[in-house]
Structure 1
Amino acid sequence: MELEKIDSFYKQLFRKAGLTIAVILVVAFVDIGLISNIEYNWNVWMVFMLTVVKIFFIVHLSFSQLVKIISQSHLLSHVLVLFTLLIGLIIFSFASDFAALHLIDDNNFKSNYDINSSIWTVFFEYFYLSIITFSSVGYGDIVPVSIVAKSTVILEVGLRFFVLVFGIANVNQIKINQE
């Protein structure tokens, strides 16, 4: 395949993903930087609602880009880049949601760790939780306790199933070019 077509694919992918990436980053900042510092009972539900908004953008990106790959591209590397991007966005997105829920009320999760330290330590621990949740390993060292935390974990697992099942169901339609 010509280098221009490969480059144009990646430019197009990251241009399309730009809005989704921006939404995830802005919501992460709002969740962790603003909502977690507000002293209201409903702010955990704001985090949950913003999670639902992010899911819409991720699902839209999944559909639009996988359909484009199936119709125009025949490189396995394009499929792998798309799935790497989607998985990374999902893990980062939910890590910020979990961290925000913890910062709002550390009783949203039960943990053996003392993660009441810096915001980076809290984010790292919930990044770890998001990876473990996405991979469905579930060590149990951090456990969602509140309804909102459990619902957010359910959303991540549901989104993982959607992305993987949708991707696997459509990969057989891609005619792989070995170039």
Structure 2
Amino acid sequence: MDYYGTYPLKPSIIRGYKPPFPNSQNCPPPSNQLLPLNPSLKLGYWELLSPALVGAAGALFLSLFSDSGDVTERCEDRLFKLAIVWYGIGATVSVSFAVTNLLANHKAPSEQLLYPIAGALVSIILLFGAEFLLLYRFFPSSFKGDVGDDVWTQFFSFIYLSITTLATADLGDILPANITARALIATEITFNLFIIASAIQILLSSK
């Protein structure tokens, strides 16, 4: 009698047969998730403002308690001036990143950005006011104009200069007299332009 139906075959007798579902013993272990080798470091608002605030406190401390002759003897005049300028630039960039992060991550109404941006402005005003004072105390020929006789009057005068530099690019009653003072004022004016551009962005996004 002939059989024309399908003949049941055992998979084990077929050469080269592989079961569609391998045994769990032959399965490779699940791979662990690889962590990034260099995780990104995210700094907060106050961490980015801290270089400006610490720099303002340090410059004021040096102006009050350091002898200009002692400091300039230990390092060259040009090196000391470069340190002041480069620290001002670095702290300004850090504060600019703080403002940029605020604009990129804010989800609340734009009115709530007023106080953080005002804090950034105050930190820049204090930083450059203290650096102007430090530069004047060590190199009195750096500025022209009546800045006062005692250190606190001079500090108030340079805070005034810092505010007017941000607001109106200086009123002209206190003028820089060397390249270091001009570089500091130019850095502060650049931050002012950045804040104006940020304010325009906020106004456009609120519409």
TM-score by length of 2: 0.68
Where in structure 2 are the equivalents of 1:50-129 lying within 5 Å?
A: 50-69=87-106, 72-74=107-109, 76-113=110-147, 115-118=148-151, 120-129=152-161
Partners in 2 of 1:82 and 1:25 — Cα distance? 14
Partner of 1:25: 53
Letter of the 1:145 partner, please give it: A
Partners in 1 of 2:169 and 2:51 — Cα distance? 28
SS in 2 for 1:139: coil
Partner of 2:168: 136
Q: Which moved more, 1:133-142 or 1:41-50?
A: 133-142
Q: Deviation of residue 173 (structure 1)?
A: 1.5
Partners in 2 of 1:138 and 1:128 — Cα distance? 9
Which string of whole-angstrom CA distances, capped at 9 and with x for unpartnered residues, describes residues 150-176 of structure 1?
A: 01101111110011112312431236x
Letter of the 1:157 partner, please give it: I
SS in 2 for 1:173: helix
Partners in 2 of 1:29 and 1:137 — Cα distance? 24
Partner of 2:25: none
Q: CA RMSD in A?
A: 2.1
Partner of 1:160: 192
Q: Deviation of residue 137 (structure 1)?
A: 5.6
Structure 1: segments with no counterpart, 5+ residues: 1-14
Partners in 2 of 1:49 and 1:137 — Cα distance? 21
Structure with higher RCO (Cα < 8 A, 6+ apart): 1
Report sequence identity in percent: 21
